Amino acid sequence: MTMQHPALEAGRRRRFAPNLWDALAFGLLFGALILIVHGGQGTLVPLAALNQTPVSLDPAQLPEYALRTTLRMLAAILASLVFTFLYGALAAKSRRAEMVLIPMLDILQSVPVLGFLSFTVVGFMSLFPGKVLGVELAAIFAIFTSQAWNMTFSFYQSLKTVPRDLDEATRSFRLTGWQRFWRLEVPFSMPGLVWNTMMSMSGGWFFVVASEAISVGDTTITLPGVGSYVALAIKEQNLPAVGWAVLAMLAVILIYDQLLFRPLVAWADKFRVETSASGAAPSSWLLSAARRTRLFQRLLRPLGALLSAVPRQRLAIQVAVPADARRALSSPLSDKVWLALVLAVTAYCLWTIVTFVATELTLPEVAQAFGLGVLTMLRVIVLIALATLIWVPIGVWIGLRPAWAERVQPMAQFLAAFPANIIFPFAVVAIVRLGLDPDIWLSPLMVLGTQWYILFNVVAGASAFPNDLREAAGTFRIRGWSWWKKVMLPGIFPYYVTGAITASGGSWNASIVAEVASWGDTTLRAHGIGAYIADATAAGDYPRIVLGIAVMSIFVILFNRLLWRPLYVFAGRRLRLD
């Protein structure tokens, strides 16, 4: 029988003994679980309980409201992530599915949150009659609709621009589609997807005011949260309460930046595609603390082994299709049949919309709606162009400097999360007192919450830009405009297109709240399709709601088909980092 040396035995015990980092990790984990359970308890009470405890402007209630809002947004972001992987992968890998799914994504992006709520809230409430949970699900779905499209576009763009040499390497190693998805495509998309997830989380704050006040007929159900707190403060013209809400939002954003997104950015940095050593990598104190734990890592090791084994599984779905049928399905004739089927379904949907709208509306009013759509489109074009000129250089500068990216990240998240309707009172007062034209000066409110899509995507693109290409540009002394034209702009272009598409669609969506701004009894309106939809929604006029949404969707689809989609194809074919 051999005896171990006492010093070796003591060292072995120290390796597995808990340390202070374990205490921190367990404290954060159990604290998060307690908050989730506490916040979730409020979803199981009857609807009548909301009337017994209405939303109050007491600042002492803001921590509770912030918890409820944050849980809704985290639930929506998880649903958005699942949707992103399924929808984005199908659209990128199937040419025929892409013909349908990408235009559908354009439409979904253009449909306003109020439009989703108008037609889905009754269905969610019927799942849990008389319970707050049904209304909570409706609010989570509304927030989901403000988050998912941006993440899906980012993932789709990444799958379409995977470097050919990496794709050929996976095929030469005979990886199945399942393995290639988890070991190449998802890791390659991670830098951009993480930044777009941050943007989606921040963008959800923009619509949280609308999503936490659910209207059913003549009844409005207000859920406790920061959004309903802000809505009540604006209604009562209580500026101190608005200030408290802003401080609460800032605190929440700083907390989940440190505990969630900063670790994700540091973790995703290892997926950058480059062959030379990069500069200073982003860091996270939480990720460093987790790596220094002893007991915590030992307990999570089986889970980590299970998760790492999933991408290695050689899962492959083999469908027995006869050779003749396979040739028929891949023939040009089948493509034409599929296109004809898609056009037929599209024509049927358009005919259904036309017959519904024609029950109450005349052709001149339809023409007027299209004219209002042209006005809103001009605003979107000008605002996106200005945002591009401002934020592309700034985003590149930040993305190439990880240390600055860490400092700017929470500030950018806060600015992106800052609801534009908080600024509306100041805009209304300034426009009235200075006698300005609302058609011009209400327009910037449309881009306040959406310009950050461009910044975040450009930062993601610059952060993921291969360091070896930067070094090669320095070696060949490529500087000035040549550096922008030949090196950086081609490298970030796919990311920029993703940001511009989502910023454009978000601006169309934001026009509904930006073209009608109010403070107390003073209301200003700008001529546009957004104001048309907002007025129709307030009046409960469903034919005009459908007409406004249809007109907006048509403009967004045409805009994307004629401009953004060709740029996407150009980025995928000519600007891949091969």
* pLDDT one-digit tens code per residue, 251-271: 888 888 888 888 887 787 777
0.85 surpassed by pTM: no
Q: How confident is the model at residue 36 (pLDDT cuts 50, 70, 90)?
A: confident
526 within 8 A of 515, measured Cβ to Cβ: yes
Please give the Cα distance from 459 to 480 (Å, whole number). 20
Please give the Cα distance from 59 to 230 (Å, whole number). 12
> Which residue carries 């997926």 as its tokens?
271
Whether 61 has a pLDDT exceeding 80, the answer reads: yes
Selection from 510, 262, 549 nearest residue 409 by Cα: 262
| Tally of CB atoms within 10 A around 88 | 26
487 within 8 A of 472, measured Cβ to Cβ: no
- DSSP per-residue string spanning 458-479: HHHHHHHS-HHHHHHHHHTT--
pLDDT attached to residue 351: 86
Backbone angles phi, psi at 219, to 5 degrees: -105, 135
Q: How far is CA 523 from CA 5, 112, 436, 439, 515, in A?
A: 82, 21, 14, 13, 10
210 within 8 A of 193, measured Cβ to Cβ: no
Please give the Cα distance from 21 to 27 (Å, whole number). 10
Q: Is the dihedral of CA 565, 566, 567, 571 positive or negative?
A: positive
pLDDT attached to residue 276: 47
The one-character DSSP state at 541 is -
Helix, strand and coil percent figures for the chain, each rounded to 5? 80, 5, 20
What average pLDDT does the chain have?
A: 78
Strands 213-216 and 522-525: unpaired
Q: Which top CATH class is 56-270+283-318+358-574?
A: mainly alpha
Structure tokens given for 212: 């936490």
More confident residue, 167 or 540: 167
More confident residue, 476 or 83: 83
More confident residue, 129 or 272: 129
Structure tokens given for 235: 């209604």
Please give the Cα distance from 111 to 336 (Å, whole number). 29
**175-182 average pLDDT score:** 81
pLDDT attached to residue 339: 78
More confident residue, 573 or 189: 189
Whether 322 has a pLDDT exceeding 60, the answer reads: no
Please give the Cα distance from 17 to 14 (Å, whole number). 5
266 within 8 A of 283, measured Cβ to Cβ: yes
Please give the Cα distance from 560 to 569 (Å, whole number). 12
Model pLDDT for residues 379-434, shown as the tens digit of each residue: 889 989 999 999 999 988 888 887 777 777 667 766 766 666 667 667 777 887 78
509 within 8 A of 534, measured Cβ to Cβ: no
Whether 565 has a pLDDT exceeding 80, the answer reads: no
Strand partners, 524: 517
pLDDT attached to residue 549: 83
**Of 135-144, 254-263, 320-329, which range is least confident?**
320-329
Please give the Cα distance from 515 to 377 (Å, whole number). 13
Proportion of the chain above pLDDT 70, given as a percent: 83
The one-character DSSP state at 282 is P
Structure tokens given for 508: 């169309």
| Tally of CB atoms within 10 A around 161 | 23
- DSSP per-residue string spanning 235-253: HTT-HHHHHHHHHHHHHHH
Please give the Cα distance from 539 to 308 (Å, whole number). 54
